[in-house]
Amino acid sequence: MPRIANLSSAGRRWTLWGLLVLLLLALLGILVWLAARYEASQVQQQLERDANEAASDIRSALTHNMQSLLALHVSEPSTASWALDTAAVLHEHRELLRVEWRTATLAIKSQVNSPFHAPLFDSLGRDSALSDIGAACANARRFSGPAYSASYFVPQDDGLGTEVLDLCLPLLSAGQLTGYLLATYSLDEVLARMVNPQLTRSQEASFTEADGARLAVHGTARRGNRVFTAQQLLDLPGNTLVLRMDSWRGAPDLFPNVLTALVSALSLALLAVLALLASDMRRRLSAESDLAEALAFRKAMEDSLVTGLRARNLEGRITYVNPAFCSMVGFAAHELLGSDVSPPDREDSVQAYWPPELTATYKKRHATRLAGEHPPPERFEAVFMRKDGTRLPVLIIEAPLINAQGQHTGWMSAILDISEQRRVEEQSRISQERLQATARLATAGEMASMLSHELNQPLAAISSYATGTSNMLQGEAVPVTADLLMAMRRIAEQAERAGKIIKSVHDFVRRRDQARESVAPQALLDDIMPLIHLQAHKLSVQVQTSLDASLPHVLCDRTMVEQVLLNLARNAMQAMDHPGGGERLLLIGVQLLASNPAWMEFSISDQGPGISPDVARQLFTPFFTTKLEGMGLGLSLCRTVVEQHGGQLAFEPNQPRGTRFTFTLPVASPPGHAVGSAIGARKAPQTQSDPEASNIGLNP
């Protein structure tokens, strides 16, 4: 589902990007187009200005010429002098092709041709243009001023021709028309002479008819194929000419001018920035997806944790809990997060999982933490309350929460549910108590055993004496009463009965013979270590064990052997308990017996004062003790137990000082061997037979 959402959001993102690129392209296209248009309009305006300027140039030059021509008649010239002056004027003004002096009836009085051109009307004759001249001069008479004819074409001998225009000036004398001065202009030359050459350097000037046909052209040959055109009307009395300016541009340039180039460059830069943005976006997206992946990984990690995690801000409000914490206390995350945890009538924060009886303590601890005077310990134990009201002991490991800016924003705590640990501790305490009770029972049993052992001899003596006496009384001639005999027999009977009772007590005590099991040496030590450590701590003794994990199991009565180990360890530690005794080290070792690997040797070494020969002689004697509140039964019990297993208990001086007690136990038969046969086949190392026990016959 989220994947589909991702896809559709990615699709939308790409659509938006596409739209953005399109809009940008459109904008840039319009910008370039506008810039080009602006440039064209600039050119057009310039052209209009040029056309205007050219028209006014021509207008003022024509007026100037007119004045020069009028000046010819200022002083009533003779025909000859007129011709001379006129020739000078024609020499000066190349655009004038011919000047005629005509009478009021338009008859030619005199005429002068331009020295720069072939005589104009040689081939065609002047009369061909008479109607044009007549119209112009009629106009001139009507205006009492200059008038221009319509332009007309005059073919030449060389096959070419020229478009010309006549100017008719009425000559007045004392208000009476005396004649006409007729000047013929070449339109080509008008353009060439009268228009500022600057204007025609890169443009073409022409006179056209209303339908666009060119009458005369001057200017550079056309270049390129883009044409700009401006037209200007040249209003002359009697005639109106159209002056047209054409400007050619080369094939439309990609960057016609600086502005367009600038806009284009900016557009390119914009596109580049867009591309950079897009790549940045792509990097961002990939970083985003990496981040999402890392977040998912972190979430999976948090969800799989069995340790509860809880983050609190500086006010003590919970800002984060992981699923393990929620399942620990039985509240949902939303019930723990934020402010709804604290009841509305209380301003201070009270957590839902605080047991009411401890709330005051916890609040005080929180206040201390806030004050920052005594930073709380990093690890501490506390009690939480589940939603159902049950309590659970927890171990809290707390660390300050520092954000990316290095500011302290709260605390992060890891919370371990230690109820299982507590249960195990309780169980081990109970089993230790049981072990001690068993030890006491075993001691009592041993006492009974010793009592029976001690009592057996006198009882046996009573029995034999009684039997002897009774025999004597029967055999010798001693006066015997039947009652005496009877009494003697009773002694024997009772003594025998006592012996039986004691034997049954003995059997009862020894019934544990059957409780053999295969145990790892390590397991034996593990069971008693808590008790040993307890006493070692009290007596400041250091305890070391040395055994190989790969050692085989031993076959033994677990409780009794543990009792032996305990007794020997206790004796060893007590032996070291005197002031100034130097190092106090208790070493418990287990190894296979070098001389016979079917036996396991346990050793308990101390660094006490050792055992003097005096003490050594009575060491295993029941009730022998050198301690104030000693019973003197420990060692004899130990020996009994070890020997019941077929092993041997011995002691020797320890190096550099103290005593080393050792005892042996049979190694459990490897799988597949019957236990009974293994015991039968096994022979204890240096088996010692107890002469007394065999005498009495109470031992099995």
Judged on CB neighbours under 10 Å (0-12, 13-18, 19+), 72 is buried
Cross-strand pairs, 685: none
Residues that bind ligand ADP in the complex, under the rule CB under 6 A: 571-572, 575, 606, 608, 611, 615, 619, 624-627, 630-635, 659
Please report how close the Cβ of residue 638 comes to ligand ADP at its closest, in angstroms. Answer: 7
Count CB neighbours of 488 within 10 A.
21
| H or E segment to which residue 32 belongs | helix 2-71
Please report how close the Cβ of residue 641 comes to ligand ADP at its closest, in angstroms. Answer: 13
d(Cα 275, Cα 280) in Å, to the nearest integer?
8
Tokens of 44: 């057009």
For ligand ADP, give the closer residue by CB, 228 or 651: 651
Tokens of 66: 């007119």
**258 contact partners, CB below 8 Å, separation of at least 6:** none
For ligand ADP, give the closer residue by CB, 260 or 662: 662
**35, 38, 39, 41 alpha-carbon torsion, rounded to 10°:** 160
Residue 656: asked if its preceding bond is cis (omega within 30°), the reply is: yes
CA-to-CA separations, 273 to 255, 270, 281, in angstroms, rounded: 21, 5, 12
**356 contact partners, CB below 8 Å, separation of at least 6:** 385
For ligand ADP, give the closer residue by CB, 237 or 632: 632
Among the listed residues 49, 237, 218, the one whose alpha carbon sits nearest the alpha carbon of residue 140: 237
For ligand ADP, give the closer residue by CB, 100 or 446: 446
Tokens of 467: 């039997």
Please report how close the Cβ of residue 616 comes to ligand ADP at its closest, in angstroms. Answer: 9
CA-to-CA separations, 570 to 474, 559, 663, in angstroms, rounded: 58, 16, 15
Please report how close the Cβ of residue 560 comes to ligand ADP at its closest, in angstroms. Answer: 15
Tokens of 671: 């799988």
Among the listed residues 546, 569, 564, the one whose alpha carbon sits nearest the alpha carbon of residue 647: 564
Please report how close the Cβ of residue 629 comes to ligand ADP at its closest, in angstroms. Answer: 8
For ligand ADP, give the closer residue by CB, 163 or 606: 606
Please report how close the Cβ of residue 572 comes to ligand ADP at its closest, in angstroms. Answer: 5
For ligand ADP, give the closer residue by CB, 144 or 626: 626
For ligand ADP, give the closer residue by CB, 116 or 624: 624
Please report how close the Cβ of residue 633 comes to ligand ADP at its closest, in angstroms. Answer: 6
d(Cα 3, Cα 9) in Å, to the nearest integer?
10
Please report how close the Cβ of residue 546 comes to ligand ADP at its closest, in angstroms. Answer: 18
**193 contact partners, CB below 8 Å, separation of at least 6:** 61, 93, 94, 95
For ligand ADP, give the closer residue by CB, 86 or 571: 571
For ligand ADP, give the closer residue by CB, 413 or 571: 571
Please report how close the Cβ of residue 686 comes to ligand ADP at its closest, in angstroms. Answer: 21
